[in-house]
Structure 1
Amino acid sequence: MKINKIFIVSLLTTITFLVIGITACFAIHKNISLKSSRGSSKLGNVSEVLGTPKSKDLKTIIHENQKLVVSLEVKNSSGNITGSGFLYDTKGDIVTNAHVVKDGSAIIVKMADTATYKGKLIGKSELTDIALVRVDNLKGKSPMKISKNKKADIGDEIIALGSPLGLQNTATTGIISGLNRNFNLENYQYKNVYQISAPVSPGNSGGPLLDRSTGQVIGINSAKVDDESIGFSIPITQVIPMIDNWAANPNTYKFSSQNTASTGDSKLSTEDAAYLVSYFYNSLNSNDYVTAYSLLGANWQQSTTYEDFRKGYLQTLSVKIDNMICHGTENGNIEVSAVIQAVEGNTSNSKVSKYNVVYTIGYENNNLKILSGKSTPQE
């Protein structure tokens, strides 16, 4: 019995210690858990890490969208009319102003990379200054992002894209300076349109108005007041039902067969050649190596793979073009020479180098290309 009492006392003592230990461990664990959950993470709160992505910078928004903005050349009985437009859907449909394509017998659509296509008119309003042009060659191409429910407010920052005064792919910035403006112009009714501080110049009509924070299309640039720096843009939400109906049920216009339209090797201008070289370097500055590589001619691409091309510019932070000179050659091409200033290296250790560059610009399968080029460092 004495042994049993000792055993029982030892057993009770052991159990007591175990209970106390388990209780203490649970309390410590709970306290640590509470402290951890209430403390601030060095990586930021979950809502900060998983929150809304940062807005894209202005240069990126402009470059990404300019690739989908087009220049329109419309032939009619009185001559040629130039305007702008943008890719609206995957059917190859281009939104523009009705006054740009009015009475046109042929529509030529020029892309940012200077590729040209025939367009056919499939929708046009007689009251609202909106029209839709279909380009079969652009079917399947990803369109611009359209804001289908945003209503802009006064003070919102905007970007107006287009080809004013024949200057392809121009961007101007500003703000929404007025709402619900109403007026009539050239038999078109403008109702509840945006007033913008970015000017709408000749040739800029039909280009997209972008929301600066999202890069999405919120309007169609359409008109201006005399010579003042005041433009007007039709809210895209007003005309989406009309545009979608035309896209689903395209109309057939008597003069929209485009039989007289030509996208062949038209006379190459020095302006187009200079633009192509500038667009090449703008693509590099935006790290868009795919677009830059696509501007090279077939022989150049055969001798240089995309991987090697890209590697050659990975250490180039930015490029500035100076002293660009263009002149024709005997075979009809254009030779473009320039001095470029390249910032090379990385953000912590970089240097500025100057190069003399010479490019030959010409048509290849009806598309303007950089056929060849050479670069030599300046001493």
Structure 2
Amino acid sequence: MRERRSLPIIVSIAVIIIGISSMIVIYDYWNSQELSVSNPVVNKVTMSSQSLDLKSIIHEAEKNVIQIEGHNEYNTSTGSGFLYNEKGDIITNAHVIKDAEAVYVRTANAQIYPAAVVGIGEELDIAVIRVPQLSGQGYLSVEKEETAEIGDEVIALGSPHGFQNTVTLGIISGSERNFHIDGFDYSNVYQISAQITHGNSGGPLINRETGKVIGINSVGTEDGTIGFSIPVNEVISQVEQWSNEAQNEQLEFASTADIINSYDPEQSLQDAEYIIDYFLESIEIRDYVNAYTLLGSAKQSELSYSQFREDYINIVDLSYSDISSEVTDQNQVNSTVDLTIETKLPNKEETNEETHTFDFIIGYENDQLKIITVTNN
């Protein structure tokens, strides 16, 4: 009786063992076979690592490159910097602001704000300043880990001689350069073929392939043929320490009115023509949001963003050779531009090219420079 009860159990165990053995054999067989796909719709997906478009890299970087002005009772020094976090913090060189009693910045869209010093090196030529009005905006991505190699293509941005957002191209032509200038020690810096001149100091050095900041442009030779840039991955820990410790209520900011009220007609002409150029560049690169923000409130109230975008969306290319400007009695700038505009014809592949004359009125609104009106004559 006991043997009869044992028989089903033994059979069940045997079946289970056979089943498991069969599954192992089948798995090994299928695992050794190469899978072939006969469906022509299914294709292997491959990733291509194409370099980013140069024009797009430059335009996006320009939005976050800042012109820095350090003022004291004797003179005004000019340099560059770039936004690197969401707090409105700007990385620059220490030598740009070390003697300044008040620091102001001019953004890519010609807005002027006071800045406060967050941290500044004594022997290390780096500094961080903060502009609360720029917090929450976009900023440049910084390469915190990798070190650039000789031969890497780079883009150097800055504001040499007061000309905002000047771009030079080159390569990393040397590395681990060490020297001492004006009380600052430069260690393991990049040597670059891109020109670094007065006003470029503190601007970003961008990797052409990734679009990330890899260096802080700092020193150039007298003839401008060789530049030197501090690797950002070697100083980012100090920069972040300053930024994390600084509280806005503990910082000292100058007054924006001080610089706005010292009206300079020559500077106004330069700023006006710059903002027009930046507006047209934004249209050409199809960055309509950026272009729209350059308009004054009255212009925006009569023209919604969707209407504005619709007016320019068919533009394929535009060019101009010169801007004619004059300062008006209202301390505004009246500028005339002959624009050659190539537009795509509706529902067609063809384009049409025409030249139009545009009049711009540039002036201050709430202490910031804006395009008050723009008309097509």
Residues 55-100 of structure 1, C-alpha deviation per residue, up to 9 Å, x if partnerless?
3210100001100110001012430000000001111111000000
> How far off its partner does 1:330 sit?
1.4
Residues 190-239 of structure 1, C-alpha deviation per residue, up to 9 Å, x if partnerless?
11000000111101100000000111100000001221410000000010
Question: Runs of 5+ in structure 2 lacking a partner?
Answer: 1-29
Equivalent AA in structure 1 for residue 192 of structure 2: I
- Matching of residues 1-379 of structure 1 within 5 Å: 37=37, 45-46=44-45, 48=46, 51=47, 54-250=50-246, 256-258=252-254, 262-267=258-263, 269-345=268-344, 348-376=349-377
Q: Structure 1 residues 313, 261: CA separation in 2 closer, same or farther (over 3 Å shift)?
A: closer
Please give the alpha-carbon distance, in whole angstroms, between the structure 2 residues aligned to 1:65 and 1:344: 27
Residues 27-73 of structure 1, C-alpha deviation per residue, up to 9 Å, x if partnerless?
xxx9xx9895278x678522x1xx25643210100001100110001
Equivalent AA in structure 1 for residue 367 of structure 2: N
Q: Structure 1 residues 91, 309: CA separation in 2 closer, same or farther (over 3 Å shift)?
A: same
Q: Structure 1 residues 273, 228: CA separation in 2 closer, same or farther (over 3 Å shift)?
A: closer
Please give the alpha-carbon distance, in whole angstroms, between the structure 1 residues aligned to 2:97 and 2:175: 27
> How far off its partner does 1:258 sit?
2.5
Please give the alpha-carbon distance, in whole angstroms, between the structure 1 residues aligned to 2:254 and 2:48: 46
Please give the alpha-carbon distance, in whole angstroms, between the structure 1 residues aligned to 2:241 and 2:90: 14
Contact 2:156 2:203 (C-alpha < 8 Å) held by counterparts: yes
Contact 1:105 1:256 (C-alpha < 8 Å) held by counterparts: no
Contact 2:114 2:253 (C-alpha < 8 Å) held by counterparts: no
Contact 2:62 2:165 (C-alpha < 8 Å) held by counterparts: yes
Superposed CA RMSD in Å reads 2.4
> How far off its partner does 1:322 sit?
2.2
Determine helix, strand or coil for the equivalent of 2:149: coil
Determine helix, strand or coil for the equivalent of 1:322: coil
Residues 317-353 of structure 1, C-alpha deviation per residue, up to 9 Å, x if partnerless?
1111223101011111100001111111169411221
Please give the alpha-carbon distance, in whole angstroms, between the structure 1 residues aligned to 2:121 and 2:158: 21
**Partner of residue 5, structure 1:** none
Determine helix, strand or coil for the equivalent of 2:321: strand
> How far off its partner does 1:262 sit?
2.8
Q: Structure 1 residues 251, 137: CA separation in 2 closer, same or farther (over 3 Å shift)?
A: closer
Identity across the alignment (%): 40
Q: Structure 1 residues 43, 81: CA separation in 2 closer, same or farther (over 3 Å shift)?
A: farther
Q: Structure 1 residues 86, 338: CA separation in 2 closer, same or farther (over 3 Å shift)?
A: same
Determine helix, strand or coil for the equivalent of 1:210: strand
Please give the alpha-carbon distance, in whole angstroms, between the structure 1 residues aligned to 2:132 and 2:305: 28
Aligned length: 340
TM-score by length of 1: 0.84
Please give the alpha-carbon distance, in whole angstroms, between the structure 2 residues aligned to 1:177 and 1:251: 40
Please give the alpha-carbon distance, in whole angstroms, between the structure 2 residues aligned to 1:170 and 1:178: 23
Equivalent AA in structure 1 for residue 147 of structure 2: K
Please give the alpha-carbon distance, in whole angstroms, between the structure 1 residues aligned to 2:181 and 2:35: 68
Equivalent AA in structure 2 for residue 209 of structure 1: L
